[in-house]
């Protein structure tokens, strides 16, 4: 089994949603592969809801280089996938190659993580029916209209699918997702 794990991004991907799992994967002996609409550098952002505000405030974050374009992905070569948050999922979810890749991970029961707006990708790909997921509350509708079940908790585990609401939940949902990846790796090395 491959030690490579996909991290799905686009312009306006949330910095902490992306970088925390990126480095945690490395610490656990996995190789994070950043995947995006095309192979180039992407601008990440920082998101926070300011007290008393009704909208999300956004600041520029770091940039990240995509290792592979969605169209080039052979999903069988990857152990798992993470759908990062931020505004990126709102536009990258329509990419036919990303939809194909997303369906593969749900159909093959490989470890999947989703945080914040990341839910919009598997929702659009018709993969959330009957699945329990955490997401930022403002994406509850996106999940439920596609048949998913919104759970307002820092870590929701539904089989191979592990999700958190926002980067504030990184310390809750990323560890169990990496444990799933490690369990799959150990099972495959024994066979």
Active site members: 117
Label residue 2 exposed, middle or buried (CB < 10 Å: 0-12, 13-18, 19+).
middle
What are the residues facing 5 on neighbouring strands?
Answer: 32, 80
DSSP of 100-153: HHHHHHHHTT--EEEEGGGGHHHHHTT--TT-EE---GGGHHHHHHTT-EE--S
Torsion of CA 118, 68, 64, 4, to 10 degrees: 70
Pick from 112, 113, 110: nearest CA to 184: 110
């Amino acid at each position: 089994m491959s030690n490579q794990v996909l991290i799905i991004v686009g312009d306006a991907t949330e910095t902490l949603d992306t970088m925390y799992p990126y480095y945690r994967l490395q610490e656990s002996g996995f190789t994070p592969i950043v995947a995006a609409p095309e192979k180039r550098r992407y601008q990440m952002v920082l998101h926070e809801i300011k007290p008393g505000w009704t909208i999300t405030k956004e600041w520029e974050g770091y940039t990240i280089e995509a290792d592979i374009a969605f169209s080039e992905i052979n999903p069988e070569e990857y152990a798992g996938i993470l759908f990062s948050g931020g505004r990126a999922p709102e536009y990258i979810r329509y990419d036919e190659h990303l939809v194909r890749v997303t369906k593969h991970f749900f159909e093959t029961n490989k470890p999947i993580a989703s945080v914040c707006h990341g839910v919009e990708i598997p929702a659009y790909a018709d993969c959330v029916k009957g699945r329990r997921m955490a997401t930022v509350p403002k994406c509850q509708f996106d999940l439920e209209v596609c048949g998913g079940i919104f759970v307002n908790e820092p870590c929701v585990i539904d089989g191979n699918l592990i999700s958190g609401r926002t980067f504030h939940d990184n310390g809750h949902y990323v560890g169990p997702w990496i444990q799933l990846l490690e369990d799959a790796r150990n099972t495959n090395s024994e066979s």
